[in-house]
Structure 1
Amino acid sequence: MGELANCPNCDTLFVQTQFRTVCDKCYKEEEKKYETVYAFLRKRDNRKALLDEVVEGTGVSKDLILKFIRTGRIQLSSFPNLGYPCEKCGTLIRSDRLCGNCSNDIKKQLNQVEQEAQISERNKQQISPKASTFYSQSTKK
């Protein structure tokens, strides 16, 4: 079930669902803009257009076109020069959220943190046998 939210475009109160993040009026406007973008891209001459060229040719904002791409409404496989920016460095990519370099960098950092955790665990285990030894004294002499 949806929840009440304010439309990010016009601040109107509406029921937000998983699929709709704007009110009905703004959704209809987005649909019109989508049709404009898709009609532009369907033309043979425009299939190899870059993102900035699509923005100039249609008058639709870059953010809205990126939203269409991220939600899968515009399939990048049909348009070889379209892409969207990596969320970390801004390089144009065609899949996932991060480019290969940023993804590898994050993996290296995670591996380093994991190795540091393993080293600290080993150090604790080497110290702990001495600390966990229990000695008791007999009261009988």
Structure 2
Amino acid sequence: MSQLENCPNCDAIFVKNTIREVCEACYRQEETAYQTVYSFIRQRMNRMANIEQVVEQTGVSESLILKFIRKGRIQLAQFPNLGYPCDRCGTIIREDKLCPSCKKDIHGQLTELDREEERQQALKSQGKTYHAGNQKYK
């Protein structure tokens, strides 16, 4: 569904939709930047370039290049030294949103939470309730 918003780049008013997140003028600038980046990394001698080298050689911002990668416009399978940061810790990754370490950590936390819930259910089913607190006895 379309809605009226301000462009995050230039603050101009535009109709935001599922395809474009910026105004027409900024969209054209992004398309020009994409063509610059893609034509650079498509050359055989530049396919091994990392993100810093692409930024340096093309003049396109790292955030815009990462946007192209996240949107799937630049396929990482063809460019082995490109990647994007993990959403949690910032480690450079090539797939998903989280690195394996963060996935393992979150999975461990969820497993521990499940165990704790099972313990709580077991206590409730036994009919035993333990209360702790500062009670003064008279």
Q: Give the TM-score taking structure 2 as reference length.
A: 0.90
- Residue 127 of structure 1 and its aligned partner are, at CA, apart by 1.2
Q: 1:31-88, CA deviations, whole angstroms, 9 ceiling, x for partnerless residues?
A: 0000000010011111000000000000000000000000000000010110001111
Corresponding residue for 1:96? 96
The residue correspondences of 1:5-44 to structure 2 (distance < 5 A) are 5-44=5-44
In structure 1, distance between residues paired with 2:127 and 2:15: 58
Q: How many residues align?
A: 128
In structure 2, distance between residues paired with 1:14 and 1:37: 26
SS class of match (2:26): helix
SS class of match (1:60): coil
Q: Are 1:2 and 2:9 counterparts?
A: no
Unaligned runs of 5+ in 2: 129-138
Q: Which runs of 4+ in 1 moved over 3 A?
A: none
- Residue 89 of structure 1 and its aligned partner are, at CA, apart by 1.2
- Residue 21 of structure 1 and its aligned partner are, at CA, apart by 0.5
Q: Are 1:73 and 2:76 counterparts?
A: no
In structure 2, distance between residues paired with 1:19 and 1:109: 36
* 1:85 aligned partner, one-letter code: P
Q: 1:67-118, CA deviations, whole angstroms, 9 ceiling, x for partnerless residues?
A: 0000000000010110001111111100000000100100000010011011
Corresponding residue for 1:54? 54
In structure 2, distance between residues paired with 1:122 and 1:13: 57
- Residue 12 of structure 1 and its aligned partner are, at CA, apart by 0.7
Q: Which has the larger radius of gyration?
A: 1
SS class of match (1:31): helix
The residue correspondences of 1:100-115 to structure 2 (distance < 5 A) are 100-115=100-115
SS class of match (2:4): strand
In structure 2, distance between residues paired with 1:13 and 1:115: 51
